[in-house]
Amino acid sequence: MGFKKILNNERGIALVMVLVLSIIALAIMSGLIYIITSGTQISGIQKRYKTALEAGVGGADVAYQFVAVRGNPNIPNINFAWSSSFTNPCLTAKLTTTAWTTNWAACNNYTKATSISIDPNDPDTYDATFDLGASPYPTYRVYTKIVDTVEGNSGGEEGLLKGSVVSTNSGEVTVQSKPYLYTIEIKSENTANTGERAKFSILYQY
């Protein structure tokens, strides 16, 4: 009978239940804190990436203008800093000839000139760089390079096409426009935190 009494004794069960419920509550609270912290970190990462992405978009617009003016770097409010290995003959080759037909011999390193990789510490891996933004706002450095060109016959000025020089007649033959195609790599990064960066691969028709 004494042994039976011990088996039926329920003293202390309340303490065990409180401990179990406390552990469950602690686990739930820890999970919520982790979710909130992770959400904040992810939001910050996305915000920084979005800013770098927008800087890259701005850099791409500058690159389009640069190609459109056939390599003239005098774009208002933009200061190009050429790679130390980049020369005018290399720029001319990239703007007007196909890489595989001429090997872009005027460029310092053909393999790096045609690679999609951009290393800010290696001037052979990009053509030019420029900064977007100014203090007190973040400054983003944009690295750009042309990695391939498909030759065409298009030009920047077509204002006189089909008129203004001679009268149009039925025998006139208009040369079919064949645009240049440029494969352009863009990399933008925060000068104060290089972990904030974005990269673009662009096919630009000119």
Q: What confidence tens digit (pLDDT) does each residue in 2-40 have?
A: 555 555 666 667 778 888 899 999 999 999 999 888 888
Burial class (CB in 10 A: 0-12, 13-18, 19+), 149: buried
| pLDDT number for residue 201 | 94
Report the mean per-residue pLDDT for the chain: 84
The Cα 72–Cα 43 span in angstroms is 40
pLDDT for residue 88 is more than 60: yes
Cα gap 160→113, rounded to integer Å: 36
State how far the Cα of 194 lies from the Cα of 171, in Å rounded to an integer.
Answer: 60
For the chain, percent of residues with pLDDT exceeding 70: 84
Could you read off the pLDDT of 135-174 as tens digits, one per residue? 888 899 999 999 999 988 876 555 555 555 555 666 666 6
Torsion angles phi and psi, residue 55, rounded to 5: -65, -40
The answer to whether 105 and 94 have CB atoms below 8 angstroms apart is no
Residue 155: the pLDDT is 60
**Among residues 158, 122, 159, which one has the least CA distance to residue 143?**
122
Confidence of residue 119 (pLDDT cuts 50, 70, 90): very high
What token pair was written down for 88? Answer: 């005018």
Find the angle CA(81)-CA(200)-CA(57) to the nearest 5 degrees: 70
Please give the share of the chain, as a percent, with pLDDT higher than 90: 36
- Asked whether the predicted pLDDT for residue 1 surpasses 70, the reply is no
Evaluate if pTM is beyond 0.85. no
pLDDT at 163: 53
CA distance 48 to 40: 12
